[in-house]
């Protein structure tokens, strides 16, 4: 078992599904009492839909409930009371046909199994009025980025409503995760969101090891945490570089950009790939840190810390940057909580959710990493928060290196998976919590794999934050949230 | 104050660009594999069995770089350690058939310089990237070719925002069905002469995402002029492949 990862393993037979009449009030009670919904998903069993709901208690523990109901009858929606559930209810409806009565907006999350023509034909919200005009952007954008469609309803230059349509990246990942020997899935898992390879790979490995009863030593856990923090630093640098480019602050764009090169080249020296592909494998790691490399890694981390301080100082004091970012794209604390936003986007709005601090034991308990949080919720806060997280991660990496850690060594064998088990693992990736849920059948075969990238929940945060902003500020709002399209589309 | 800060940043930045992109080798990178002729263990199929994308074929051990994701798994399981992933980034090709590394053939895979391409695009080449199921790794690496380290602009090669301004359509991802129309639209909007570059295992063969959710009809109709292997390809792999094709030394 992976101590550093927030994890729950349950015997499915102990998890008696409730009927909708019991399950729904229980969800309302839990959310009303301050629990947080981590995920909610369903699968189809004949005429029935089997729902799995995962909550996090105020103390940080995961609790799981299940419901079974006739899919055609379904249940009465919860989104109106708890908007954070909108994406889960929409996804369940899309994936299983489950009826969710009176749901305000059952728009498909990713248009699974459909053609682009069906997506083009889907009616966007329209605002009527003589002064209203619409701006359609996408699915192809004017940069080297993933596709997605944005429809703005504007009054003059001001955005009144933004509707985001995704699904252009749908590759059918969840189905493919069930098609092969689960022990060989790492490369596929690493591309669920290719910029969060390590976050997703760790959630997968931890879940698989829990199913196989494979115990890891602390060196392996530390090695995984080490590359996870490197991934965080690298992607925060990439995001800041983009944010700087979008406000025309080119010194920041080039400096953060070249420092990202140093960060990802460090990962490459450890595992052979700049994105940490193959760095994690079930039962161990695919990376090494021999003594000669240790010196180089130490040098790189020191260089990052020194040079970052210089460019960070310029970033936070530059008038250009402040003028553009201050007050733009505000997501209030209340909105962030209501929408269930996670990760740095939540923390920059004053909502502290960081699952690294909620794992019961493991690397971050032995070597704490300080949580970062800012109250403002604007583009500037999201930029500054990423700077603060980078600084803290680099401090942590430097601290780990002073102990001359040993990475590598033989992998533990991952044996057959236990049957009739449900495992939920949560890893704090750079973009927020990465949630993987694996369920095995009687013979230990995988019968359900739910992979959840934080982007699924955060896209609505962007849509709400951009309201009442100039449409010309959309690029910086978008970049400050820095969400994954394929992570949503799967 | 801010001038001083700017100078400090400039000073710490130093010189970041890689002088010679043609010979630079990314130490530690899993790049072009080399397969030795050391005899295989009897009836061993370990390398083939472990491959996540069916890139390895046997009798004479062969790796299809158009499918390979460079995960090193085959090298790790090979009893006589026949397979080594070298850091060499050069492995782009103008032909799908040439993307195969065979046992005992240390031949360097490179795109052939094409006189027409060289005349048309040798001094100015504008690229429009479209991701159709790319996981963001290829896209990040393609962005990186324009950063201060790789600085592809030094050769007159640039990313452009509109397909109207582009000479080449650079595709990533397995070509998801939901992007089919958009890819075709982008291609139709490009003025001739124009060509397609397939970047990464997904675009070349479907790679890890060779699934029914992909519709690869476009690539079957419009064959790529250049294939750039990797998962994702290192920026140097892309740079070298492009320069090879347009005949830039």
* Secondary structure class of A42 (helix, strand, coil): strand
Q: What ipTM score was computed for the predicted complex, to two decimals?
A: 0.93
Assigned domain for A153 exists:
no
Peptide bond into A204 cis (omega under 30): no
The answer to whether the CB of A85 falls within 8 A of the CB of A36 is no
Assigned domain for A190 exists:
no
| B24/A contact by beta carbon, under 8 A | no
- pLDDT for the residue B109: 81
Q: Longest Cα pair distance anywhere in chain B, in angstroms? A: 72
Residues of A within 8 A of B231 (CB-CB) are 187, 191, 277
Tokens of B143: 């962005």
* Secondary structure class of A9 (helix, strand, coil): strand
* Secondary structure class of A57 (helix, strand, coil): coil
Give CA–CA dist A427/A451, Å, rounded: 12
Assigned domain for B83 exists:
no
Same domain? For A204 and A95 the reply is no
Give CA–CA dist A241/A265, Å, rounded: 17
The answer to whether the CB of B68 falls within 8 A of the CB of B229 is yes
Q: Which residue of A has its CA nearest to B15?
A: A258
pLDDT along chain B (249 residues), means of 10: 85 90 94 93 92 92 95 93 94 92 83 87 95 96 95 95 95 95 96 96 95 92 96 96 92
Assigned domain for B43 exists:
no
The answer to whether the CB of B94 falls within 8 A of the CB of B42 is no
Q: Are strands B125-131 and B157-159 parallel, antiparallel or unpaired?
A: parallel
Best CA proximity match to A140, nearest among B184, B7, B18: B184
Best CA proximity match to B247, nearest among B123, B102, B154: B123
Give CA–CA dist A168/A173, Å, rounded: 13
Best CA proximity match to B194, nearest among B214, B171, B217: B171
Residue B15, min C-alpha distance to chain A (Å): 10
Other beta carbons within 10 Å of B192: 6
Interface mutation vs chain A, best among B137, B171, B172, most A CBs within 10 Å: B137
Select the residue of A111, A268, A311 nearest B178 (Cβ to Cβ).
A111
| B6/A contact by beta carbon, under 8 A | yes
Residues of A within 8 A of B134 (CB-CB) are 146, 169, 194, 486
Give CA–CA dist B140/A399, Å, rounded: 29
- pLDDT for the residue A88: 97
Assigned domain for A217 exists:
yes
Structural domain count of chain A: 2
Best CA proximity match to A7, nearest among A71, A63, A48: A63
Same domain? For A77 and A213 the reply is no
Residue A140, min C-alpha distance to chain B (Å): 7
Non-local (6+) Cβ contacts of A383 within 8 A are A240, A243, A315, A321, A325, A480
Select the residue of A115, A140, A275 nearest B137 (Cβ to Cβ).
A275
- Chain segment A216-247, per-residue pLDDT in tens: 988 899 999 999 999 999 999 999 999 999 99
Beta carbon pairs, A and B, within 8 Å:
196
Q: Do B27 and A269 touch (CB under 8 A)?
A: yes
Give CA–CA dist A353/A372, Å, rounded: 10
* Secondary structure class of B42 (helix, strand, coil): coil
Select the residue of B6, B132, B161 nearest A142 (Cβ to Cβ).
B161
Assigned domain for A219 exists:
yes
Other beta carbons within 10 Å of B170: 26
Give CA–CA dist A189/A204, Å, rounded: 7
Residue A197, min C-alpha distance to chain B (Å): 9
Which residues 89-128 of B have a C-beta within 8 angstroms of A? none
- Chain segment B177-187, per-residue pLDDT in tens: 999 999 999 99
- State which residues form the domain around A464: 197-477
Q: Which residue of A has its CA nearest to B210?
A: A171
- pLDDT for the residue A218: 87
The answer to whether the CB of A178 falls within 8 A of the CB of A407 is no
| B184/A contact by beta carbon, under 8 A | no
- pLDDT for the residue A2: 63
Assigned domain for B149 exists:
yes
CA A348-A350-A353 angle, to 5 degrees, is: 85
Which long-range contacts does A303-308 make (Cβ < 8 Å, 24+ apart)? A303/A262, A304/A233, A304/A259, A304/A262, A304/A263, A304/A394, A305/A391, A305/A394, A305/A395, A305/A398, A306/B12, A307/A255, A307/A259, A307/B12, A307/B13, A308/A259, A308/A387, A308/A390, A308/A391, A308/A394
The answer to whether the CB of B181 falls within 8 A of the CB of A138 is no
Q: Do B179 and A168 touch (CB under 8 A)?
A: yes
Give CA–CA dist A92/B59, Å, rounded: 47
Q: Measure CA B57 to chain center.
A: 21
Residues of B within 8 A of A305 (CB-CB) are none
Question: Exposed, middle or buried by CB within 10 Å (0-12, 13-18, 19+), for A35?
Answer: middle
Assigned domain for A126 exists:
no
Q: Do B52 and A254 touch (CB under 8 A)?
A: no
Residue B131 belongs to domain with CATH number: 3.40.50.12280
The answer to whether the CB of A16 falls within 8 A of the CB of A35 is no
Tokens of B14: 């130093």
Residue A243 belongs to domain with CATH number: 1.10.645.10
Give CA–CA dist B205/A47, Å, rounded: 38
- pLDDT for the residue A472: 93
Select the residue of A113, A191, A317 nearest B135 (Cβ to Cβ).
A191
Assigned domain for B77 exists:
no
Assigned domain for B221 exists:
yes
Beta strands (DSSP E) in chain B are 33-35, 56-57, 62-64, 83-85, 100-102, 125-131, 157-159, 168-172, 195-199, 226-228
Best CA proximity match to A250, nearest among B97, B24, B13, B242: B13
Q: Helices A474-481 and A218-246, interaxial angle, to 10°?
A: 170
- pLDDT for the residue A182: 86
Tokens of A448: 């359900």
Assigned domain for A125 exists:
no
Best CA proximity match to B235, nearest among B98, B137, B166: B137
| B33/A contact by beta carbon, under 8 A | no
Give CA–CA dist A248/B172, Å, rounded: 27
Other beta carbons within 10 Å of B119: 11
Q: Do A277 and B69 touch (CB under 8 A)?
A: yes
Structural domain count of chain B: 1
Identify the segments of chain A with pLDDT beneath 70. 1-2
Assigned domain for B76 exists:
no
Select the residue of A111, A117, A186 nearest B181 (Cβ to Cβ).
A117
Select the residue of B16, B53, B136 nearest A484 (Cβ to Cβ).
B136
Residue B242, min C-alpha distance to chain A (Å): 17
Q: Do A277 and B71 touch (CB under 8 A)?
A: yes
Residues of B within 8 A of A188 (CB-CB) are 52, 208
Q: Do A171 and B174 touch (CB under 8 A)?
A: yes
Best CA proximity match to B245, nearest among B205, B190, B197: B197
Phi, psi of A124 (to 5 degrees): -80, 160
Residue B6, min C-alpha distance to chain A (Å): 7
Q: Which residue of B has its CA nearest to A118?
A: B178
H-type alpha helices, A213-318:
218-246, 250-271, 291-317
Q: Do A238 and B176 touch (CB under 8 A)?
A: no
Assigned domain for B82 exists:
no
Residues of A within 8 A of B5 (CB-CB) are 310, 313-314, 317
Non-local (6+) Cβ contacts of B59 within 8 A are none
Q: Do B52 and A191 touch (CB under 8 A)?
A: no
Tokens of A224: 């995984």
Select the residue of A117, A238, A278 nearest B72 (Cβ to Cβ).
A278
The answer to whether the CB of B170 falls within 8 A of the CB of A145 is no
Give CA–CA dist A343/A336, Å, rounded: 11
The answer to whether the CB of B172 falls within 8 A of the CB of B212 is no
- State which residues form the domain around B204: 115-246
CA distances from A231 to A81, A275, B107, B158 (A): 36, 7, 35, 28
Assigned domain for B94 exists:
no
Q: Do A144 and B159 touch (CB under 8 A)?
A: yes
CA A474-A480-A484 angle, to 5 degrees, is: 95
- pLDDT for the residue A1: 52
| B34/A contact by beta carbon, under 8 A | no
State which of A73, A101, A129 marks the end of a domain: A101
The answer to whether the CB of A462 falls within 8 A of the CB of A164 is yes
Best CA proximity match to B157, nearest among B121, B192, B191, B126: B126
Residues of B within 8 A of A277 (CB-CB) are 69-71, 231
């Amino acid at each position: 078992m992976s101590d550093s990862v927030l994890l729950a393993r349950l015997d499915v037979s102990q998890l008696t599904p409730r009927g909708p009449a019991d399950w729904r009030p229980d969800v309302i009670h839990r959310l009303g009492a301050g629990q947080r919904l981590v995920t909610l998903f369903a699968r189809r069993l004949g005429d029935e839909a089997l729902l799995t709901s995962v909550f996090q208690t105020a103390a940080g523990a995961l609790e799981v409930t299940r419901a079974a109901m006739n899919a055609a009858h379904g249940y009465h929606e919860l989104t109106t009371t708890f908007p954070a559930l909108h994406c889960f209810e929409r996804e369940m409806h899309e994936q299983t046909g489950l009826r969710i009565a009176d749901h305000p907006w059952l728009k498909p999350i990713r248009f699974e199994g459909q053609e682009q023509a069906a997506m083009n034909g889907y009616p966007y919200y329209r605002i009527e009025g003589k002064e209203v005009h619409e701006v359609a952007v996408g699915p192809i954008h004017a940069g080297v980025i993933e596709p997605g469609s944005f429809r703005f309803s504007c009054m003059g230059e001001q955005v009144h409503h933004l509707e985001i349509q995704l699904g252009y990246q749908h590759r059918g990942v969840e189905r493919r995760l069930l098609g092969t020997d689960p022990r060989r899935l790492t490369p596929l898992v690493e591309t669920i969101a290719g910029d969060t390879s390590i976050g997703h790979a760790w959630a997968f490995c931890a879940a698989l090891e829990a199913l196989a009863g494979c115990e890891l030593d602390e060196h392996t856990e530390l090695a995984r945490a080490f590359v996870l923090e490197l991934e965080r630093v690298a992607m925060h640098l990439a995001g800041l570089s983009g944010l700087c480019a979008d406000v025309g602050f080119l010194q920041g764009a080039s400096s953060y950009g070249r420092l990202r090169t140093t960060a990802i080249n460090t990962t490459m020296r450890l595992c052979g790939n700049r994105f940490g592909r193959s760095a994690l494998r079930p039962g161990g790691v695919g990376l090494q840190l021999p003594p000669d490399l240790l010196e180089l890694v130490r040098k790189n981390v020191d260089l990052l810390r020194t040079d970052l301080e210089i460019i960070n100082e310029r970033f936070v004091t530059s008038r250009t940057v402040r003028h553009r970012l201050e007050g733009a794209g505000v997501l209030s604390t209340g909105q962030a909580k209501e929408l269930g936003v996670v990760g740095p986007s939540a923390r920059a709005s004053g909502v502290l959710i960081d699952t690294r601090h909620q794992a019961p034991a493991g690397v971050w308990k032995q070597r704490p990493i300080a949580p970062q949080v800012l109250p403002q919720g604007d583009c500037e806060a999201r930029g500054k928060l990423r700077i603060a997280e980078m600084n803290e991660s680099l401090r942590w990496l430097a601290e780990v290196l002073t102990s001359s850690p040993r990475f590598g060594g033989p992998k533990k064998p991952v044996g057959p998976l236990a049957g009739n088990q449900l495992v939920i693992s949560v890893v704090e990736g750079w973009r927020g919590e990465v949630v993987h849920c694996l369920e095995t059948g009687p013979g230990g075969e995988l019968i359900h794999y739910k992979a959840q990238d934080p982007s699924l929940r955060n896209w609505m945060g962007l849509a709400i934050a951009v309201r009442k902003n100039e449409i010309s500020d959309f690029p910086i709002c978008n970049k400050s949230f820095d969400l994954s399209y394929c992570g949503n589309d799967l | 104050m801010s001038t001083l800060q700017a100078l400090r940043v400039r000073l710490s930045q130093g010189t970041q660009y890689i002088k010679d992109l043609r010979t630079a080798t990314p130490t530690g990178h899993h790049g072009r594999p080399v397969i030795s002729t050391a005899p295989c263990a009897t009836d061993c199929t370990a390398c083939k069995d472990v491959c996540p994308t069916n890139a390895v074929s046997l009798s004479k051990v062969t790796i299809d770089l158009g499918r390979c994701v460079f995960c090193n798994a085959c090298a790790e399981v090979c009893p006589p350690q026949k397979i080594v992933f070298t850091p060499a980034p050069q492995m782009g090709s103008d032909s799908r058939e040439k993307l195969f590394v065979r046992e005992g053939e240390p031949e360097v895979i490179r795109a052939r310089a094409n006189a027409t391409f060289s005349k048309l695009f040798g001094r100015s080449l504008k690229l429009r990237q479209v991701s159709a199921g790319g996981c963001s790794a290829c896209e990040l690496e393609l962005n990186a070719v324009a950063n201060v380290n790789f600085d592809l602009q030094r050769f007159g090669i640039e990313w452009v925002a509109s397909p109207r301004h582009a000479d080449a359509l650079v595709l990533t991802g397995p070509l998801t069905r939901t992007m089919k129309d958009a890819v075709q639209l982008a291609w139709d909007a490009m003025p001739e002469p124009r060509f397609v570059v397939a970047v990464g295992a997904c675009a070349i063969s479907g790679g890890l995402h060779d699934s029914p959710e992909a519709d690869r009809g476009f690539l079957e109709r419009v064959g790529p002029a250049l294939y750039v292997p990797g998962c994702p390809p290192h920026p140097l792999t892309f740079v070298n492949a492009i320069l090879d094709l347009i005949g830039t030394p």
